[in-house]
Amino acid sequence: MIDIAALSMDYWDDLMVRMAHHSTAIEGNTLSQGDTKSLLLDGYIPRAMDLREMHEVLNYKRFMDFLQQSLAKERALSLDFIKEVHAVLCKDAIEGVAGRFKEIPNLVVGADFVPTPPYLVSTDLQNWLLDLAAQLAAAKSAEDKITAICRRHIRFERIHPFYDGNGRVGRALIVYSCLQEKEAPIVIPVEERKRYMNYLNTEDLQGFVAFAKELQKEEEERLRLFCANR
């Protein structure tokens, strides 16, 4: 378990840059991690870039403030919370209204399933929230918690509650849920995009959990090094 209050500002900055780079790059953003660091930490635009891609990255600065404040207030996940995450991460970065559930049916390119229709999104997400809370409450180990979080992430992506931005929101909720449970966050690297997408597409929970545990070990080492360098 980790002590959230003891995490250094350097670690939070590092987490912000990595979340911003990897999560947006998984969706096709072409900015490098160096570009992302320049925008978020140095306040500097290093080169000509697409305005939408720049906003996608810059939104993580606001999200990190939102994340830390929500953890400090011990906010539980809710429908409003999920919409707030979307509003923060997708401001000026998507077509449509950030922070609003979809109003027309959507599809996932190449998927063999049809996402939840708009009129059922709130109901399905409410059940999703109840299931996640129950599974976390019943968890007897860190692995049980990660299994619950991974299982619910697969389900979230199949509900696909927003017109756009579902992946970014889903991965942000993974990080928030991990930190809520005092576990090292799971940041999915863009280099592992194919592996990650395969777990989602095939609903391979066992493989996804093993993958998540690998990433957590790497994150725990980063946490150790940041703490050692304080």
pTM: 0.96
For residues 18-27, give the mean pLDDT.
98
pLDDT at 68 exceeding the cut of 90 = yes
* Percentage above 70 pLDDT, the chain: 99
pLDDT at 219: 97
For residues 125-139, give the mean pLDDT.
97
Number of domains in the chain: 1
pLDDT at 86 exceeding the cut of 90 = yes
Kindly state the helix (H) or strand (E) to which residue 79 belongs, with its residue range. helix 79-89
pLDDT tens-digit profile of 26-65?
Answer: 999 999 999 999 999 999 999 999 999 999 999 999 999 9
pLDDT at 218 exceeding the cut of 90 = yes
The distance of Cα 162 from the centroid of its chain, to the nearest Å, equals: 14
pLDDT at 142 exceeding the cut of 70 = yes
The distance of Cα 171 from the centroid of its chain, to the nearest Å, equals: 2
- Residue 182 lies in domain: 4-228
Residue 30 in 3-state DSSP? coil
Q: Which residue has the higher pLDDT, 85 or 2?
A: 85
pLDDT at 228 exceeding the cut of 80 = no
Instruction: Work out the pLDDT band at 226, boundaries 50, 70, 90.
Output: confident
For residues 10-39, give the mean pLDDT.
98
What is the pLDDT of the chain when averaged over all its residues?
95
pLDDT at 111: 75
pLDDT at 208 exceeding the cut of 80 = yes
pLDDT at 223 exceeding the cut of 90 = yes
Instruction: Work out the pLDDT band at 229, boundaries 50, 70, 90.
Output: low
pLDDT at 66 exceeding the cut of 90 = yes
CATH number at residue 65: 1.10.3290.10
pLDDT at 16 exceeding the cut of 70 = yes
Query: In this structure, are residues 25 and 44 in contact, taking their beta carbons and an 8 Å threshold?
Result: no
Query: In this structure, are residues 187 and 19 in contact, taking their beta carbons and an 8 Å threshold?
Result: yes
First to last CA, the chain: 19
Q: Report how far residue 196's alpha carbon sits from residue 91's, in angstroms, rounded to the nearest whole number.
A: 25
